[in-house]
Amino acid sequence: MAETKKLLGSTAIVTAAGQGIGEAIAKTLAREGASVAVADINLPEGKRVAAEIEATGGAAMAIQTDVTRFREVTGMVERVLNRWGTIDILVNCAGGFFRFAPILEIPEEEWDQVILLNLKSTFLCSQGVAKTMMEKKRGRIINIASQSGVGASLYGPTYLPYGAAKAGVIGFTKHLAKELGPYGITVNVVSPSTALTPRVKKIRDPDTFKKIASLSAMGHLIEPQDCAEAVLFLASQESRYITGVNLNVNAGTMIV
């Protein structure tokens, strides 16, 4: 008997889906039957991912979106609704940071930029899809945080704006889960450790990767696909009564 696709007939938005973890999530949701809006500020990369999804028989559209701007987020939501008529899944994957720096070297503008990219974007996109999900009384919102939001790492430098923003994403998730629970909407968060994404490979050297892996309980670093499979679980019917949960995907680099 052929295996039924877990998300057949559903529609998903994945932000920052043009590369790395977001790309893996978008392709995984499409693999399981979801129509996927590939939202990314980098339109060429978004188009590439959407084209690769369609080449395997999936349904996708690329939408250039700055998820720190209210009007662009509302425009993204409108385009998805106009094409597919519904939004069942939102994955807030946009985020990141640009460098490591101690507190005395972080200007106010840099702090604001990192908070906008990681935390405000999660709020704006969640707010953007909430109305249609509440009207249907169903939906999945899955936020991507980080091990840095759970606690300070024992290896390498730390970076306050990113850690604070991702801790905020985890707290935001718990409060939104309570608010939207009566509408049949689950809200969860996935917190990966250092993942072997193109961005991370640019800012860390091989020796650092080996050190991080050696400090994990399982002796491994995670791949973007590991996060994607966790998101798939939280988007599927199997997790229908799981909400407000922070799912750590970290091979045991931090056990809390």
Cα angle 209, 212, 217 (rounded to 5 degrees) comes to 135
> Is the dihedral angle over the CA atoms 134, 23, 149, 102 positive or is it negative?
negative
DSSP, res 95: -
Whether 162 sits among the annotated catalytic residues: the reply is: yes
Helix, strand, or coil here: 48?
helix
Q: Which of 155, 162, 183, 241 is catalytic?
A: 162
Strands across the sheet containing 11-15:
60-64, 35-40, 11-15, 89-92, 139-144, 185-192, 246-249
DSSP 129-198: HHHHHHHHT-EEEEEE--GGGTS--SSS---HHHHHHHHHHHHHHHHHHHHHGGGTEEEEEEEE-SB--H
The catalytic residues are: 162
